[in-house]
Amino acid sequence: ETGVTQTPRHLVMGMTNKKSLKCEQHLGHNAMYWYKQSAKKPLELMFVYNFKEQTENNSVPSRFSPECPNSSHLFLHLHTLQPEDSALYLCASSQRSGVYNEQFFGPGTRLTVL
């Protein structure tokens, strides 16, 4: 595997379910990100992890719970979601240092909440 991978690619869940999204990067990066992409809205940064430490939580509801066990893996645990949480969830990674380094994105998980 190369780059940034995300599983599952598609997920349908009820409002009472608990599920998790997984992201893995094979690039040796130190920073990982979760974004939410909704129809007709700009990409929204949700969480940032830098060397496994959460450095940003962009006022995300507690029904989204991130976990970063190491620099290569990032999870987003979901519980009691709402239909408006349906979106494409994108994971990205970057090197730690410098403002010029690009973020590499995974293909996303398309989430539908019924």
Partner 1 sequence: GDSVTQMEGPVTLSEEAFLTINCTYTATGYPSLFWYVQYPGEGLQLLLKATKADDKGSNKGFEATYRKETTSFHLEKGSVQVSDSAVYFCALSEGSGGYNKLIFGAGTRLAVHP
Q: Nearest approach, Cβ of 62 to partner 1 (angstroms)?
A: 22
Site track 18-47 with partner 1 (rule: CB under 8 A), x = hit: ------------xx--------xxxx-x--
Closer residue to partner 1 in complex, CB, 92/113: 92
Residues in contact with partner 1, total (CB under 8 A)?
29
Give the 3-state DSSP-derived string for the chain, with helices as H, strands as E and coil as C: CCCEEEECCEEEECCCCEEEEEEEECCCCCEEEEEEECCCCCCEEEEEEECCEEEEECCCCCCEEEEEEECCEEEEEEECCCHHHCEEEEEEEECCCCCCCCCEECCCEEEEEC
Kindly state whether residue 59 participates in binding partner 1, applying the rule CB under 8 A: no
Q: Which stretch binds partner 1 (CB under 8 A): 13-21, 59-67, 73-81, 92-100?
A: 92-100
Q: Find the binder of partner 1 among 57, 70, 101, 112 (CB under 8 A).
A: 101
